[in-house]
Amino acid sequence: MFYPTFIYESLPYAYFLVCAYLMAFYDTWPVFVSVGLFYVAGCATLVTRSGYRRLDRYKATEKQPNNKNTLPEWLYEYLPYSYFGLATLMLLKTSLPALQFLAFLLMMVALKNLLFRVSNRRKAKSLF
């Protein structure tokens, strides 16, 4: 079954809009569970698409297995999305200015990481 390109490309963002709507207007546990499921579905869709569309040709053989400073691949892929989800939760559900500022900083870090990833994965390997 094939979807039109417009629907296929915008589906994860529709998941995120549903999450934002539910978080903004409802405060029950079943809604929080559905928000979590929609958010995970949107994140998984975006990470999977990013993996298939990479132009930098990541190979597992290039990874250094003895390096203790690297994150596992699954954690690395989902970390900016977890930052953004936590920041959105803090922004919508707290009224303390310090926590809202922390949420803003988390959003900026997540957006910076995602934008750098998009930029680096859409070009072939370079010297930098």
| Digit-coded pLDDT (tens) for 4-16 | 888 888 888 999 9
The three-state secondary structure class of 1 is coil
The pLDDT of residue 126: 60
The pLDDT of residue 102: 94
79 in the same domain as 45? no
Is there a contact between 56 and 120 (Cβ–Cβ < 8 Å)?
A: yes
Q: Which residue has the higher pLDDT, 106 or 122?
A: 106
Answer yes or no: is 120 within a domain: yes
The pLDDT of residue 99: 92
Answer yes or no: is 7 within a domain: yes
Taking only the tens place, the pLDDT of each residue in 26-74 is: 888 999 999 999 999 999 998 888 777 776 655 544 555 556 668 788 8
d(CA 32, CA 27): 7
Answer yes or no: is 80 within a domain: yes
The three-state secondary structure class of 127 is coil
86 in the same domain as 128? yes
The pLDDT of residue 56: 61
Query: Amino acid letter at 68?
Result: K
Q: For residue 88, what are the CA distances in angstroms to 8, 78, 93, 103, 118? A: 25, 15, 8, 7, 21
48 in the same domain as 4? yes
Q: How many domains does the chain have?
A: 2
The pLDDT of residue 40: 92
Answer yes or no: is 58 within a domain: no
Answer yes or no: is 96 within a domain: yes
Task: Give the domain extent around 84.
Answer: 70-128
Alpha-helix residue ranges (DSSP H) falling in 3-124: 5-25, 29-52, 73-93, 97-121
Residues contacting residue 100 through CB under 8 Å, at least 6 positions apart: 90, 91, 94
Answer yes or no: is 62 within a domain: no
The pLDDT of residue 9: 84
123 in the same domain as 90? yes
Answer yes or no: is 63 within a domain: no
The pLDDT of residue 61: 47
74 in the same domain as 41? no
Q: How many residues does the chain have?
A: 128
